[in-house]
Amino acid sequence: QVQLVESGGGLVQPGGSLRLSCVRSGSIATINDMGWYRQAPGKERELVAHINSVGYISYADSVKGRFTISRDNAKNTVYLQMNSLKSEDTAMYYCWQNIRVSSLTRNAMDYWGKGTLVTVSS
């Protein structure tokens, strides 16, 4: 039974930094893609940072040079380091992973955390 739990959100001033964490529990077979999404009020959900199945990392243009995604496989954890935060970064941030939970099936499933709220304001 796979579960993703985010933490690290909160209130920060413009120009500040936060590090989000996503911890996975439960047994799995393989992890394919993973990343961080965000959704602001009245906006569509957008992918801000992505690691594909072979480890290639990409970012949304709006966060390039400011955000860094990383993972610690030993801790079953993926991070999002956010620097030079702007008011437009205010959103609910969601951890996402595409996972095969069993080697007996060809199908992978998308798993989502419940989100952690980031508010950037003076």
pLDDT tens column, 29-87: 988 899 999 999 999 999 999 999 999 999 999 999 999 999 999 999 999 999 999 99
**pLDDT score for 106:** 84
- Mean pLDDT confidence for 9-32: 96
Closest C-alpha among 97, 101, 57, 65 to residue 83: 65
Q: Is the pLDDT of residue 5 over 90?
A: yes
**pLDDT score for 111:** 96
**pLDDT score for 90:** 98
Helices (H) and strands (E) in the chain, counts: 0, 11
**pLDDT score for 2:** 94
Closest C-alpha among 32, 34, 42 to residue 108: 32
- Mean pLDDT confidence for 86-101: 96
